[in-house]
Amino acid sequence: MTTLLGLAYRVETGLRDLAARVARGRGWVPVAIPFPGYGSGGRVRVLGRVLLAPAGTHPESRLRIPGWQRFLTLEAPRTGVDVEVAGVRAHVVSDGDGLVDAVLDVARTLDGRPTVPVRMRTGARSATAPTHLSSRDAHRGVVCDIDDTVIITEIAHPLRAAYRTFVQRSRNRRAVPGMADLLQELTQGREHVPVLYLSNGPWNLIGPLSAFLERNGFPPGPLLLTDWGLQPDRWFRDGQAHKRESLLRLAEDMPGVDWSLVGDTGEHDPALYEEFARAHPDRVTEILLRDTGVGGPVVGRVGTTPVVRAADGAGLSRGRATLPH
C-alpha cells in the first residue's frame, strides 16, 4: 500500500510539474491569492495560495469561480511571495501545495481596529485580504465548524453533500436556522471577539463559503480550511488531525482567549472538542453542538466544561441561558 501511495503521489506531482511547465511556456505566471487571516497584539498569521494563471488575469478573480470549476487550478509550489502588513514586509515561500502560511511580527500594536489589510505580491501583481484582529485583552473567542453547523450540507449523505458542495451555487444553499444569531450573541461586546471558522473543506471553496457567511449575517472571521490533494503519507487529508492541530495552534496564538467551541454531532466535533476541553479545561468556556436528534436543548458536561446540544441555533441559545455565568 505504501509503495502504491508513493507511486500515486509521484505521478500526481509529476503531472502537475509537467502542466506547470507547459503553462509557463504559454505565458502563465504565478498569482498570489491572500486569504483572510487573524492576529492579536503585534502578531499576524498570513494565509494564502499561489496559483499559475494567464497573464492579465486579476489575482482575486480566482475567488469568484463557482462550484467544481474551482478545483481546476494549477498550484505553484515553492514560489516566492512578498507580504506586507502594517508597514512590515517579508518574503515567504509557498509550500509543496502552493499554500502560504506565515506569522509576521509588527513593530507596533494593532489594537483599536477590527481588521488590517495584508498585501501579497508576485512579480508586478498584488492582491489584498483582511486580517481579523482580536483585542490584546480579549478574553473570549469562538471556533465554529461549517458543514452542518452553519450551512446545511448533510455530510452523512455523501451524494447530497457532493451535490451541494460541487454543483449548487452558494447563494442557493441554506443556513442552519438560528446559527447566525447565536454567533452574533457570542460576539457581543466592545472588544473584538475573534471568530474562526474551522472546517475540513478544501481551500478551493473559500470564496463561495466566505460569500455565504457574509450574505447570511454571520460574524466576519477567517476560514481555516485544508488541502484535499494526495499527501506523501496518506491518500486523503486527515480531517481530525487538521482540526486538532488548528485548535492547538489557536491556543498558542491567542493565549489569553477562552473559547466557545461550536460544531455538530454529524462527524468528529464532539470527540475533538471533548479531547481539547479535557486537555485544556481552563481554555474552553462551553461546547455548543447542533444535534438534530434532540428536541429542546440538552445540557451536560465534559469535566468542568458545559456542553449544550440542540437542533438549531435558537435551541443552543436557550440552553446557554440556563448555564451559570
User: At 198, which CATH number?
Assistant: 3.40.50.1000
Whether 50 and 20 have beta carbons less than 8 Å apart is answered as: no
CA–CA separation, 170 vs 24, rounded Å?
32
Residue 190 and residue 122 share a domain: no
The whole-number pLDDT of residue 165 equals 54
Task: Assess if residue 5 is contained within a domain.
Answer: no
| Matching residue, cell 472546517 | 199
Give the number of other Cβ atoms within 10 Å of residue 150's Cβ. Answer: 26
| Residues 70, 222, 171, 184, Cα dihedral to 10° | 170
pLDDT at res. 54: 83
- Which pLDDT score, from 0 to 100, does residue 65 have? 58
Query: Which phi and psi angles does 111 have, rounded to 5°?
Result: -60, 155
When comparing pLDDT for 171 and 263, which is higher? 263
Q: Same domain for 121 and 190?
A: no
Q: What is the pLDDT of residue 68?
A: 47
pLDDT tens digit string along 160-169?
A: 545 455 545 5
Which segment of 110-119, 161-170, 208-217 scores lowest on mean pLDDT? 161-170
Mean pLDDT for the chain overall: 84
Do 87 and 215 share a domain, yes or no?
Answer: no
Between CA 9 and CA 5 the distance in angstroms is 6
What confidence score (pLDDT) does residue 45 get?
A: 93
The residue length of the chain stands at 325
- Supply the angle between the helices 239-253 and 269-279 in degrees, to the nearest 10: 40
Residue finishing a domain among 77, 104, 132: 132
Segment 240-283, tens digit of pLDDT: 889 999 999 998 888 889 999 999 998 899 999 999 999 999 99
165 and 218: one domain?
Answer: yes
Predicted confidence (pLDDT) per residue in 29-76, tens digit? 898 999 999 988 788 999 999 988 888 776 555 555 555 455 567 888
Same domain flag for 124 and 144: no
Taking the C-alpha atoms of residue 102 and residue 77, their distance in angstroms, rounded to an integer, is 15
Phi/psi region, residue 87 (left: phi>0; alpha: psi -120 to 50; beta: rest), is: left
Q: Same domain, yes or no, for 242 and 288? A: yes
81, 101, 132: which is the final residue of a domain?
132
pLDDT value at 113 more than 90: no
Domain containing 296 equals 140-321
Sheet holding 298-302, edge to edge: 223-226, 195-202, 140-144, 258-264, 284-290, 305-310, 298-302
**pLDDT for the residue 1:** 45
Residue 120 has pLDDT above 70, yes or no: yes
Whole-number Å distance between alpha carbons of 38 and 246: 13
3-class SS string, the chain: CHHHHHHHHHHHHHHHHHHHHHHHHCCCEEEEEEEEEEEECCEEEEEEEEEEECCCCCHHHHHHCCHHHHHCCCECCCCEEEEEECCEEEEEECCCCCEEEEEEECCCCCCCCCEEEEEEEECCEEEEEEEEEECCCCCEEEEECCECCCECCCCCCHHHHHHHHHCCCHHHCCECCCHHHHHHHHCCCCCCCCEEEEEEEEHHHHHHHHHHHHHCCCCCCCEEEECCCCECCECCCCHHHHHHHHHHHHHHHCCCCEEEEEEECCCCHHHHHHHHHHHCHHHEEEEEEECCCCCCCEEEEECCEEEEEECCHHHHHHHHHCCCC
Cell of 111: 489594537
Would residue 8 count as lying in a domain? no
How many domains is the chain partitioned into structurally?
2
Question: Cell digits for 140?
Answer: 473570549
Alpha-carbon gap, residue 88 to 29, rounded angstroms: 25
* C-alpha distance from residue 325 to each of 171, 305, 320 (Å): 38, 12, 9
Residue 46 lies in a domain: yes
Report residue 170's pLDDT band, with 50, 70 and 90 as the boundaries. Answer: low
The pTM assigned to this predicted structure is: 0.86
